[in-house]
């Protein structure tokens, strides 16, 4: 979903070098970097730098190696501050909407927002916003637990 990489990281889809294909990961990689880039790296097995991975959309952010753990914790805490059901719905939306017509997408997203608004999570989120306090999600980890 969100990928933070060390500037020292290297990436490769090298299965072709041993007579195989990156089958298990291919649906995710193709969606993430597009068919043209996937074609190149699937067929060549080239290894790429973190900066190149950022350029093609394989990673979202590149940080100095010594800051990776800190940035990972920050990102985890950002994710933990969002509603779990809302995040799951965002992922569903991102997966389904690109394959829909505009009318289907409008209907799907209207139904989704209506369901979320009346959910316990949606009610808590709106109440927290109006009361200017952090929401108390039903499923939550303490930030100390994120390592």
What residues act catalytically?
15
Element containing residue 10 per DSSP (H, E): strand 10-12
Residue (of 89, 130, 128, 134) closest to 112 by Cα position: 89
Under DSSP, is residue 130 helix (H, G, I), strand (E, B) or coil? Answer: helix
Dihedral sign for Cα 96, 87, 119, 129, please: negative
With tokens 């989704």, the residue in question is 112
| Backbone torsions φ then ψ of 144, nearest 5 degrees | -65, -25
112's tokens: 């989704």
């Amino acid at each position: 979903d969100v990928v933070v990489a060390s500037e020292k990281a290297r990436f490769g889809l090298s299965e072709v070098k041993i007579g195989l294909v990156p089958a298990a990961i291919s649906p995710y990689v193709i969606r993430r970097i597009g068919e043209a880039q996937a074609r190149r790296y699937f067929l060549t097995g080239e290894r790429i730098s973190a900066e190149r991975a950022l350029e093609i959309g394989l990673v979202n952010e590149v940080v100095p190696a010594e800051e990776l753990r800190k940035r990972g914790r920050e990102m985890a805490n950002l994710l933990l501050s969002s509603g779990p059901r809302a995040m799951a719905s965002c992922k569903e939306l991102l997966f389904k909407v690109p394959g829909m017509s505009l009318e289907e997408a409008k209907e799907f997203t209207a139904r989704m927002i209506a369901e979320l608004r009346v959910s316990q999570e949606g009610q808590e989120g709106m109440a927290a916003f109006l009361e200017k306090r952090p929401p108390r999600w039903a499923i939550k980890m303490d930030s100390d637990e994120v390592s």
